[in-house]
Amino acid sequence: MAFSNEIKAEFNLTNVEWGLLTGLYFLFFYSIFGIFMGLLGDKFNRVKIIAVGVFLWSIMTAFTGVAKNFYHLIIARAFIGIGESALSPNSISILSDLYKQDKRGTASAIYYLGIPLGVGFGFIVSAYFGPLYGWRNVFIFLGVLGAILAIFAFFLFEPKRGVMDVAQKNDDQSLTIGDILKLTKSTLFKSRSLTLVIIGSIFLHIPLGAGNFEVLWAVQEREFTASSYNTIFGVFFIIGGSIGGILGGVLSDKFSKNFKGGSMTFLTISYLILTPLVLGYRFASPDSLFFYFTLFFISMNVTFFYGPVFAAVQELTPFKVRTTMVAVFILGVNIIGMGFGSFATGFLSDYIFDTTATPYTYSLLTMGSSGFIAIICYYLASFTYARDIELARRLTE
């Protein structure tokens, strides 16, 4: 979070409290309400659900700017999580109705460019406008801007469900909430590949949760100022994150069809290359070229998997429950993955590595190592990938 040093100091927060605020307090509501938003999305108009969610998310962002104590921050983060939970499950579901399977990796990757562009520009905005206007005014302005955009989004159209899934039975019959839950549960229990994709992605999200301590690490252990690191990280995240997202989606769509394990084999190979580079970043000196070389791959790593993973989740799920299944996926990767990553990094730096000279470095390295477990899960998922795609089609019929 770009204003981590300012907010943590103003409210006198410990690392554990900061980890809970940026992680679990937000992610619990984001993930739990995501299931509810997924069920609503499989039953009602997905576009309008997204618009209402973004409006709430934006208003609570503005409220963060007027928070007077830690409890106000918790309330704001909780309602931001509720609002934001409407976005991804419904958006990914809509994308599956706009693009055929061999284009969904690229489509999902382009959608998730919102992360590097949003986060990257957020760091740059904080670097330049934070010192001028203060972190509170920046939150208020961005919240109001988001609320205005949400009103326009309310009037966008929604595509017909399942229209791109020609191999599946495409009818207009709407499932009941009970049927949606039953089919979602059945798919999860029967699809070994889908289960392993979710587990692997949980481990891949642990370092992302630990990323809430990135600026604290840079300022306290690498002698950056908050403003200078926010600028550097913002620029790299925009460039590297955008390239990573596009490459992950485009290369997955292009090469996955050559592997029996599809996008899972592609991800296994890719992360065998990316994970060591990500860990190497923590050892690099800011005075060296290697530091910026690995920072580029850190930025790529954050977004590279989105296209292949969400294309896989769509492909392995019957089209009538895709919104709910994406919500289940988000529940797992956020509550268990990012939530644990954020809390554990704070705990490790406060209580385990607190006597070392670089507690943040050791904590972030520990969390980053979970990427190797993700590789194993994706590799195992590749063995039953083709079989489970056919299973998803049969479950719809």
- What per-residue confidence (pLDDT) applies to 92? 79
In the chain, pLDDT over 90 holds for what percent of residues? 21
Is residue 8 assigned to a domain? yes
Is residue 326 assigned to a domain? yes
User: Stretch 179-190: mean pLDDT, rounded?
Assistant: 88
Is residue 162 assigned to a domain? no
Is residue 346 assigned to a domain? yes
Is residue 163 assigned to a domain? no
Is residue 200 assigned to a domain? yes
CATH classification at residue 132? 1.20.1250.20
Is residue 161 assigned to a domain? no
Is residue 165 assigned to a domain? no
pLDDT band for position 32 (50/70/90)?
confident
pTM of the model: 0.75
- What per-residue confidence (pLDDT) applies to 374? 93
- Whether the pLDDT of residue 168 is over 60: the answer is no
pLDDT band for position 397 (50/70/90)?
low
Lowest mean pLDDT among 33-42, 104-113, 287-296, 311-320: 104-113
- Whether the pLDDT of residue 169 is over 60: the answer is no
- Whether the pLDDT of residue 163 is over 80: the answer is no
- What per-residue confidence (pLDDT) applies to 365? 92
Reported as a single tens digit per residue, the pLDDT across 222-238 is 988 888 888 888 888 88
- What per-residue confidence (pLDDT) applies to 165? 63
pLDDT band for position 380 (50/70/90)?
very high
| Count of the separate structural domains present in the chain | 1
Domain region containing 30: 4-156+175-396
Q: Which three-class secondary structure string do you get for the chain?
A: CCCHHHHHHHCCCCHHHHHHHHHHHHHHHHHHHHHHHHHHHHHCCHHHHHHHHHHHHHHHHHHHCCCCCHHHHHHHHHHHHHHHCCHHHHHHHHHHCCCCHHHHHHHHHHHCCHHHHHHHHHHHHHHHHHHHHHHHHHHHHHHHHHHHHHHHHCCCCCCCCCCCCCCCCCCCCCCCHHHHHHHHHHHHHHCHHHHHHHHHHHHHHHHHHHHHHHHHHHHHHCCCCHHHHHHHHHHHHHHHHHHHHHHHHHHHHHHHHHCCCHHHHHHHHHHHHHHHHHHHHHHCCCCCHHHHHHHHHHHHHHHHCHHHHHHHHHHCCCHHHHHHHHHHHHHHHHHHHHHHHHHHHHHHHHHHCCCCCCHHHHHHHHHHCCHHHHHHHHHHHHHHHHHHHHHHHHHHC
